Amino acid sequence: MLNELRSLVSDIQFAETELKRLTRENQKTGEGMIEQVFEIAKNVLTFEPIFKKASMFGTRMEQREYFYRSDGELLKGFLINSSLEYSGNANGEETEEFNELFLTEDRKLICFYTVHKYPDSRKHSMQHEVTRFEAHFDDEEIYYGSVIRSLSKMLKSRYQELMTRKELMLERLKDLDSVRIDVEEF
């Protein structure tokens, strides 16, 4: 029995050491790949100021408080992923809570826990309050491949949107050319 316990403890210690090594390797490789993706995509990413709190969200009278970097500049980021964690009624208010992952303009991944509170339990109201809390995440929680795929998917979607808009503009120009021909006939 003692030999079995010694063997089991030895196996656990080996597994823990291996897990730490794999975690470090995952973090180093993932961060390196994020850095490469950032360098490739930085000219087409739009980094927006990340707000801490917004009242009357979605209206013209919206008011926001922002996060700031340690140098006093606004913290700006690009939302990569948002996952719904909770949706329901809490303390008489309709509430939705999200985990959000941003890529910042200084190439770091930052996680926020974001809470949307809707007045009078009107979930689809545009006028609601949003609060973001910076959340700590463990390196073991980050799926760098998923982050990169999500960013790639967003860029593909943006490209398709731009191509659709370009086609529309070409159609409009073609239409203007036909009007120009008609006008010249007068």
pLDDT of residue 89: 81
The Cα 173–Cα 76 span in angstroms is 37
Q: What is the DSSP string of 97-159?
A: EEEEEEEETTS-EEEEEEEEEEGGG-TT-S-EEEEEEEE---GGG--HHHHHHHHHHHHHHHH
Q: What is the DSSP string of 61-82?
A: T-EEEE-B-TTSSBPEEEEEEE
Structure tokens at 150: 């999500």
Residue of 184, 102, 106, 105 lying closest to 151 (CA atoms): 102
* pTM score of the predicted model: 0.74
pLDDT of residue 147: 87
pLDDT of residue 120: 66
Give the SS3 label for residue 52.
strand
pLDDT of residue 72: 93
Q: Which residues of the chain have pLDDT under 50?
A: none
Residue of 42, 62, 177 lying closest to 127 (CA atoms): 62
pLDDT of residue 44: 92
pLDDT of residue 118: 79
pLDDT of residue 144: 87
pLDDT of residue 60: 79
Q: Which helix (H) or strand (E) holds 7?
A: helix 2-41
